[in-house]
A and B are shown apart, each in its own frame.
Chain A
Amino acid sequence: MARFILGRLIGGIVILWLVSVLAFVLFFVVPKALGNNPAVLFAGRSPDPATIAGVTRKLGLDRSYVDQYWDFLRGVFVGRHFDSGSDRSWCPAPCLGYSFRNDQPVWSEIVDALPVTASLSIGAAVLFLVVGVSTGVISAVRRGGLFDRIAAAVSLAGVSLPVYFTGLLLLLLVSYKWHIIDNVHYVDFTHNPALWAWNLIPAWLVLSLLYTANYQRLTRASMIETLGEDYVRTARAKGLRERTVIGKHALRPALTPIVTIFGLDLGVLFGGAILTEHTFGFRGLGAISIDAVNTQDLPVTMGVTLFAAFFIILANVLVDVTYAFIDPRVRPS
């Protein structure tokens, strides 16, 4: 068990390192290779020559890639100075980049935007797991029945509808036609939890629709498989109540593949959250990254990308480790 967890952790660290190299290549090597000056990209919209020279010195863009990468990596762990001689700025750890345009570390922008994306993703995840798994179980138990057929049709429509379309549609109805929630906007949880939830409901519904459909199909297929197992027949033959047979003997093993898929889906969920928050006008991680593209503030885009990649990989390692506790079969002997 300890060896398995250790192996997963080491694997996670290797992947994190690979991602950091990949990100460095993407943001520092690729632009240069394609004839873009990275200093211009990092400096912000239409910088003057003095600013470009300053940013070049600050990032050490005239030095070798190895040196640049080393500074970049060290910044993440211990922070780094950006020094152009005349101007000096400090970017504390974890330094995922420094926006020269706004003159602040990207980390502070990420910390501001994170609660929005997190609220959206976590709420939607709870919703789609509960609804998806429970409707999937009903579909599997009453296979071929009316509920199953309706659920199949709804989930087919669900996976074919883009969130940015259903989002606008729901906003149109809820906000402009029926005036149930006027002016949907993000309210901080600490400010007012009730308003926080109330304003997030449409976004949660929209974001979860897509995944509910997926998890409904997945749970149904997984349940149908376990319901056909011999031990389920044995449980029934022992005279156990149907509820116990389904809830305990069939559902529990059926859930293990769903945990794995959920871990893999976290990144996709993140992407969905970005689209949803854009549609609803919430200022989450996606919004600051896209704004940064439009205002040509590359450090922010880089910071958000790195943060998201690190976060998703760590979450995946965590899911793997949790998995080892749930399912004894994963533990290699």
Chain B
Amino acid sequence: MTAPPGEMMVESVAAPAVVQPEGRSLWRSGWIRLRRDKPAMISGVFLILLALIAIFAPVMVSLLGHPPNEPHYDLLDPNTAAPRGRFGGMSWHYLLGVEPVNGRDIFSRTVYGARVSLLVALLATATAVIIGTVLGMLAGYLGGLWDTIIARLMDLLLSVPSVLFAIAIVAVIPNKAFGLSGSGLRIGVLVFVIGIFAWPYIGRIVRGQVLSLREREFIEASRSLGAGTFTVMFRELLPNVAAPVLVYATLLIPTNILNEAALSYLGVGVRPPTASWGDSLAVASHGWYSIEPIFMLAPGLAIFATVLAFNLLGDGLRDAFDPRGGR
């Protein structure tokens, strides 16, 4: 389908005068819209920085703090077990002060907490996206009994109190399972528990999209050319649901961050001494926050800023890629 050389010449000569309307893909036009959304862009930059902090936590901490599990009893008042000095013993050496009872560096624990929080939330979201997309496509495309079963399952999972089930699941899993133990196992369990209750959010969106897509001509064309169910689902439907899945996955991450922190706060999440924001809040909640609010403010504001940034980015993505999808 190459054009004859003569015509090419003519076109290249005329090119400076005629502005060719550029065909923009969905992704490209979405990106252009997103770039104009200031809060979303600032949030995106913040989240990239946060991810870098989480990845390079050991470097950050060796430069600006102390190992997260290292006790500093010399900084504590031996009578009250609270840090000496104001603001939790804040100083140039201990940027956010130290924890009560064992004097661990709050700055280091907050930085390391970002690792657990982001790791669990991202893996749980990935789990939810995979299960939700596959089952949502199956329900929407196959319809009938498949649809009834999957839709009912989604209703069920969305209506039961996931926190209570999460507590129960943690209670029945032994200290060693699936070849994992310690915090590795706990992180795995958290990802599973949060992901298994989160996939219906994605599943519902995908099912709804597929229900309207499957009546379109290109699906019919693909089927009449002999494409099987599998091919239609993954070659034709999947690229078309990718944008809304991306949007709602971004909006699911903050929910998952809150869930991870909640479970760790309740004492059924990441096991101490592994640093996590929820656990830091639990430490603060044992009466210490009333003595020194920094114990609670450091992890609390870390959760707030991260969740807010993901929400702003998610809202921005939704406006950019799915302009009519907003509630």
| 0 or 1 for each of A36-61: is its CB under 8 Å from B? (1 = yes) | 10000100000000000000000000
B163 within 8 A of A: yes
Nearest residue, chain A, Cβ from B168: A305
Assuming the A-B contacts A162-B262, A168-B281, are A27 and B172 also in contact, with contact meaning beta carbons closer than 8 angstroms in the complex? yes
Contact B285 A15, beta carbon cutoff 8 Å: no
B266 within 8 A of A: yes
Contact B174 A271, beta carbon cutoff 8 Å: no
Among candidates B171, B173, B258, residue contacting A162 with C-beta atoms closer than 8 Å = B258
Determine the distance from Cα of A160 to Cα of B293 in the docked complex, in whole angstroms: 20
Hey, which chain B residues are within 8 Å of A312, CB to CB? 159-161
Nearest residue, chain B, Cβ from A23: B168
Contact A271 B300, beta carbon cutoff 8 Å: no
Stretch of A65-73, A75-83, A290-298 with 4 or more beta carbons under 8 angstroms from chain B = A290-298
Determine the distance from Cα of A305 to Cα of B167 in the docked complex, in whole angstroms: 9
Stretch of A103-111, A240-248, A272-280 with 4 or more beta carbons under 8 angstroms from chain B = A272-280
Determine the distance from Cα of A270 to Cα of B290 in the docked complex, in whole angstroms: 27
Contact B167 A289, beta carbon cutoff 8 Å: yes
Among candidates A165, A169, A286, A309, residue contacting B163 with C-beta atoms closer than 8 Å = A286
Determine the distance from Cα of A176 to Cα of B296 in the docked complex, in whole angstroms: 14
Determine the distance from Cα of A267 to Cα of B267 in the docked complex, in whole angstroms: 21
Contact A36 B267, beta carbon cutoff 8 Å: no
A154 within 8 A of B: no
Nearest residue, chain B, Cβ from A310: B160
| 0 or 1 for each of A157-187: is its CB under 8 Å from B? (1 = yes) | 1011110110011011001100000000000
Give the interface centre of A165, A171, A267, A271 by most chain B CB atoms within 10 Å: A165
Assuming the A-B contacts A160-B308, A164-B285, A275-B266, are A221 and B326 also in contact, with contact meaning beta carbons closer than 8 angstroms in the complex? yes
Q: Report the minimal beta-carbon distance from A277 to chain B, rounded to whole angstroms.
A: 11
Hey, which chain B residues are within 8 Å of A304, CB to CB? 164
Hey, which chain B residues are within 8 Å of A308, CB to CB? 160-161, 164
Determine the distance from Cα of A11 to Cα of B159 in the docked complex, in whole angstroms: 14
Hey, which chain B residues are within 8 Å of A34, CB to CB? 172-174, 177
| 0 or 1 for each of A237-259: is its CB under 8 Å from B? (1 = yes) | 00000000000000000000000
Hey, which chain A residues are within 8 Å of B278, CB to CB? 164
Contact B300 A169, beta carbon cutoff 8 Å: yes
Q: Report the minimal beta-carbon distance from B237 to chain A, rounded to whole angstroms.
A: 26
Contact A301 B254, beta carbon cutoff 8 Å: no
B311 within 8 A of A: yes
Interface residues of B in 138-161 (CB under 8 A from A): 152, 156, 158-161
Nearest residue, chain B, Cβ from A163: B262
Hey, which chain B residues are within 8 Å of A171, CB to CB? 290
Q: Report the minimal beta-carbon distance from B265 to chain A, rounded to whole angstroms.
A: 5
For chain B, the count of residues having a C-beta within 8 Å of the partner chain is 47
Nearest residue, chain B, Cβ from A261: B327
Contact A290 B172, beta carbon cutoff 8 Å: no
Q: Report the minimal beta-carbon distance from B185 to chain A, rounded to whole angstroms.
A: 11
Q: How many A-B residue pairs have CB under 8 A?
A: 154
B94 within 8 A of A: no
Hey, which chain A residues are within 8 Å of B169, CB to CB? 26
Interface residues of A in 1-29 (CB under 8 A from B): 11, 15, 18-19, 26-27
Determine the distance from Cα of A157 to Cα of B304 in the docked complex, in whole angstroms: 8
Hey, which chain B residues are within 8 Å of A161, CB to CB? 304, 307
Interface residues of B in 255-286 (CB under 8 A from A): 258, 261-262, 265-268, 278, 281, 284-285
Contact B327 A221, beta carbon cutoff 8 Å: yes
Contact B308 A298, beta carbon cutoff 8 Å: no
Interface residues of B in 291-308 (CB under 8 A from A): 293, 296, 299-300, 303-304, 307-308
Contact B304 A301, beta carbon cutoff 8 Å: no
Assuming the A-B contacts A34-B174, A157-B308, A168-B296, are A305 and B285 also in contact, with contact meaning beta carbons closer than 8 angstroms in the complex? no
Assuming the A-B contacts A34-B174, A160-B311, A161-B304, are A271 and B162 also in contact, with contact meaning beta carbons closer than 8 angstroms in the complex? yes
Contact B266 A165, beta carbon cutoff 8 Å: no
Contact A172 B163, beta carbon cutoff 8 Å: no
Q: Report the minimal beta-carbon distance from A321 to chain B, rounded to whole angstroms.
A: 15
Among candidates A11, A156, A274, A298, residue contacting B172 with C-beta atoms closer than 8 Å = A298
Among candidates B165, B268, B326, residue contacting A293 with C-beta atoms closer than 8 Å = B268
Contact A41 B281, beta carbon cutoff 8 Å: no
Q: Report the minimal beta-carbon distance from A206 to chain B, rounded to whole angstroms.
A: 13
Contact A27 B168, beta carbon cutoff 8 Å: yes
B289 within 8 A of A: yes
B312 within 8 A of A: yes
Q: Report the minimal beta-carbon distance from B173 to chain A, rounded to whole angstroms.
A: 6
A114 within 8 A of B: no
Assuming the A-B contacts A168-B281, A172-B290, are A267 and B172 also in contact, with contact meaning beta carbons closer than 8 angstroms in the complex? no
Contact A309 B285, beta carbon cutoff 8 Å: no
Q: Report the minimal beta-carbon distance from A141 to chain B, rounded to whole angstroms.
A: 18
Contact A264 B158, beta carbon cutoff 8 Å: yes
B243 within 8 A of A: no
A30 within 8 A of B: yes
Q: Report the minimal beta-carbon distance from B152 to chain A, rounded to whole angstroms.
A: 7
Which residues from chain B sit less than 8 Å from chain A, CB to CB? 152, 156, 158-165, 167-174, 176-177, 254, 258, 261-262, 265-268, 278, 281, 284-285, 289-290, 293, 296, 299-300, 303-304, 307-308, 311-312, 315, 326-327
Other than the known A27-B172, A221-B327, A274-B164, what 4 A-B pairs have Cβ atoms closer than 8 Å?
A31-B173, A162-B304, A274-B161, A308-B161
Q: List 19 A-B contacts (CB under 8 A).
A: A31-B173, A35-B176, A36-B173, A156-B311, A157-B304, A162-B262, A162-B304, A168-B285, A267-B159, A270-B163, A279-B285, A290-B266, A292-B171, A293-B167, A308-B160, A308-B161, A309-B161, A312-B160, A316-B159
List 3 tightest A-B contacts by C-beta distance, closest first.
Answer: A271-B163, A165-B300, A160-B308
